[in-house]
Chain A
């Protein structure tokens, strides 16, 4: 039945309740409200998570600031410790020249006479110290030269080289070997060039390994 003597307000109220199009619109609005609630929930969740992370960040920043302030008190000590730490590889990479000479002395056979001997540092790396820069040798080159006795075995130099390498630090190798011809009036010459790594492992030279400095120093 059509409305009669009913106020416009009540006609509209009735239409909002009964008309299917208004019901459909109401359904859309309610669905929208629920979606907004879901978005709001997500937003609140993100805000809470964000504030938690920000709070954690603030705590960490404060901790770092406190730690830096505490560290500032020990700046001199830290500098000295850094210096000591730099000395570690310098001490480790030293080559015990006396042990090398002793090994040569032990290894040289009777038919060979050593006339000159040199040991020089190669492949140097700079290490910064408080007093300046120290050039740390990574490798040494050992040059051994001399003469062979007349009538000596021609493979003597080779045996001497192998015997010498066995006594040298591990990973040592022979760079060159030169054996001169034997002449009637003069003795035959020879020359050996060996490469010796300065890695601190001098067990073959009869020395114990150098104690490594602790990392936390």
Chain B
């Protein structure tokens, strides 16, 4: 108790409190989508979208992208991006950042497993050992970079799992610590607090399981999430994920479906495909596959996302990333 009190007194944001932070209401959220080649931003006031920036790469201090570093550019910028955009859309400059990052296959680890198979009793002890040396826990681990780890429930709800049975299936997700630190440093430079860093496959799969998949259908489903960097296919039965496969491309993911169906004996199933961009135009989907295109998203999300852009006009955004960002900020 005394240690916590001392810590609070030492690190209390006194300047923030004295400049009106004591009386401020909920902070607006700036939800960033960061892919190797693009960056987008949705600005939310509470649960209401108030602005959308479809292209941030032209900004002098855009956030660090998964395949590069934006830190040096942020330091050089004359005007910080977050306060500038917050002012542009009439928001308080005291904002929170939410990052959805599209990391490549080598930069993201997602696996369905159990605590028993990893020889640990609790998620906390598993995370402690993973922080120390992942190779002790994961036999196939060869990466020497430090990672940050999160244990999720097998319903893919994007919140850390604190308790789990040893035989309960959990999803272990890892991201390179260096990239997370880059994002945190960038947020600190911008004077914002950081809510979460969510890998795009995790966010998209959570969106599919929580919003798209019908709750009352018992048929198993194969959900494919395609991003610029990878394709994730997972089999979900009764809202629980049973198996996850990561692929480089959508074509590879589609190619693996017959084997998955055969392995798991899924005679009747449906396939949902969520793509972050125009990846669906490059392949032919199987007949039973349902592409989560603009029309599907409108129907599942209850309408189009109509948001003003920097020129002031309100534009309909039905692209998957915009809907995904809006959903995540409302969690």
Residues of A within 8 A of B (CB): 1-7, 10, 12-14, 16-18, 22-23, 25-27, 29-30
Contact = CB atoms under 8 A, between A and B. Distances in A.
B17 A4 contact: no
A22 B22 CA distance: 9
A13 B14 CA distance: 12
Given A18-B27, A27-B17, A30-B18, A10 B194 contact: yes
Contacts of A6: 180, 184, 194-197
Contacts of B17: 23, 26-27, 30
8 contacts: A1-B98, A3-B160, A4-B159, A7-B180, A10-B187, A12-B7, A22-B8, A26-B22
Contact of A1 (B22, B175, B329): B329
B198 interface: yes
Contacts of B11: 12-13, 16
B158 interface: yes
A123 to B, nearest CB: 83
Contacts of B331: 1
B22 A27 contact: yes
B16 interface: yes
Contact of B198 (A5, A10, A30): A5
B12 interface: yes
A3 B328 CA distance: 12
A10 B184 contact: yes
Interface string B119-159: 00000000000000000000000000000101000000011
A6 B198 CA distance: 10
A5 B196 contact: yes
A26 B196 contact: no
Interface in B264-303: none
Contacts of B14: 26, 30
A22 B21 CA distance: 11
Given A18-B27, A22-B8, A30-B17, A4 B196 contact: yes
B21 A25 contact: no
A2 to B, nearest CB: 4
B304 interface: no
Interface of B: 7-9, 11-14, 16-18, 21-22, 27, 96, 98, 148, 150, 158-160, 175, 180-181, 184, 187, 193-198, 328-329, 331
B194 A14 contact: yes
Given A1-B329, A2-B158, A5-B198, A13 B193 contact: yes
Contact of A3 (B27, B175, B196): B196
Contacts of A29: 9, 12
A5 B13 contact: no
B184 A7 contact: yes
Contact of B16 (A2, A4, A17, A27): A17
Contact of B193 (A2, A4, A14, A23): A14
A4 B150 contact: yes
A130 B328 CA distance: 110
B93 to A, nearest CB: 13
A23 B22 contact: yes
A26 B5 CA distance: 11
Contacts of A3: 160, 194-196
In the A-B complex, the 3 residue pairs with the smallest Cβ-Cβ separation, listed nearest first, are A2-B159, A5-B197, A4-B196
B109 to A, nearest CB: 12
Contacts of A17: 13, 16, 21, 193
A166 B14 CA distance: 97
A5 B175 contact: yes
A14 B27 CA distance: 11
Contacts of B180: 5-7
Contacts of B187: 10
A26 B27 CA distance: 18
B150 A5 contact: yes
B45 to A, nearest CB: 15
Nearest to A6: B194
